[in-house]
Amino acid sequence: MGASQQIDEPQRDQELAELLKEVRRIDVQASRLVNNLMAGGYSSVFRGAGLEFEGVREYEEGDDPRSVDWNVTARVGRPFVKTFKDERELTVLFLLDLSPSMEGGFGAYSARQAAARVSACLALAANRNNDKVGLIAFGREVEKFVPPQKGSGHVLRIVRDCLALPPSGGETRIEPALDYAARVVRRRAILFLISDFLTDGYRRALALCARRHDVIGVRILPPELAGPLRKGVLRLRDPETGYERTVNWSSRREREAYEARVATWRAETEHDLRRAGVDLMDVPISIERDPEMVARPILEFFRMREERGAKR
């Protein structure tokens, strides 16, 4: 146990340093995108839970008549309207899948490593907007809960947990994490459900959670789930069940059968999220390391939400 720990800790520190270096690279090299679109897009896409009364001002042409403050209008003798400001402070909660299937894949990063990078970018954007950030890590059950707080140090802790928490055992179950989030977060919040979604049985809990919160499904797609397969004979092992088999992806029939199953799974997942009122952000993992791999889908998602109009 001690030897394993000595090996694992430097690896985790190296991974964390690499992650922070990548986030800084996004921040510096793509400052316009990060500062204007990622941070600005974040604040315009994710708004406060309600409106707070700010004051009154004189009526101007084009103002909504429903906003007239009749008490002030009657007292002053001229029309005045009420003004409100958005309750800016938000709570952002990451629901992170720690199941064994998030540890593998044929990409430059594992699904777990990609998920940590997504969480880091979104958490930094939230922190810049003075929002609280929290974490629910889950596998078969909830493994860890980090209550939402503010501050750069807290964001760093969440990023470290995304990388350092050990994988859970057994098959993925999303439902307990959704139920837990619904219990511990009472006010409307933004929930990023980050998973490969290689599971079932969560649809009712997802729909119930989405009635109270703005839930976004972040689907991590390793190359074998994102596009055409590379040819070859491979020995594969299911990390959650331990089942092993040899597949010949040079066989056109076997490859097409597999790709058809993946296409069906993807379509069913998208249908289930859409029915629950949950937006989907797909994050394909590239085979070669790509500095824009995480920023690109986040920015595309922000643009989509801005064009459609922020959910309330």
In the chain, where are the structural domains located? 7-46+88-308, 51-86
- Whole-number percent of the chain with pLDDT over 90: 36
pLDDT for position 83: 79
Whether residue 39 is predicted with pLDDT greater than 50 in this model: the reply is: yes
Mean pLDDT of 164-173: 86
Mean pLDDT of 147-163: 88
Q: Of residues 258 and 207, which shows the higher confidence score?
A: 207
Mean pLDDT of the chain: 82
pTM (whole model) above 0.85: no
CA 284 to CA 268: how far, in whole Å?
A: 18
Whether residue 203 is predicted with pLDDT greater than 90 in this model: the reply is: yes
Q: Of residues 238 and 150, which shows the higher confidence score?
A: 150
Give residue 182's pLDDT band: very low, low, confident or very high (50, 70, 90): very high
Q: Does domain 7-46+88-308 have CATH number 3.40.50.620?
A: no
Mean pLDDT of 144-157: 91
pLDDT for position 29: 41
Q: What are the pLDDT digits (tens) for 43-56?
A: 666 765 555 566 78
What DSSP letter does each residue of the chain carry, written as one string? -HHHHHHHHHHHHHHHHHHHHHHHHHHHHTHIIIIIIIIHHHHHHS--SSEEEEEEEE--TT--GGGB-HHHHHHHSS-EEEEEEE----EEEEEEE-SGGGG--SSSS-HHHHHHHHHHHHHHHHHHTT-EEEEEEESSSEEEEEEEE-SHHHHHHHHHHHHHSPPPSSS---HHHHHHHHHH--S--EEEEEE-----S-HHHHHHHHHHSEEEEEEEE-HHHHSPPPPSEEEEE-TTT--EEEEETTSHHHHHHHHHHHHHHHHHHHHHHHHTT-EEEEEEPPSS--TTTTHHHHHHHHHHHHHH----
pLDDT for position 31: 40
Give residue 297's pLDDT band: very low, low, confident or very high (50, 70, 90): very high
Number of Cβ within 10 Å of residue 223's Cβ equals 17
CA 311 to CA 300: how far, in whole Å?
A: 16
pLDDT for position 48: 56
Q: Which stretch of 11-20, 69-78, 121-130 has the lowest confidence by average pLDDT? A: 11-20
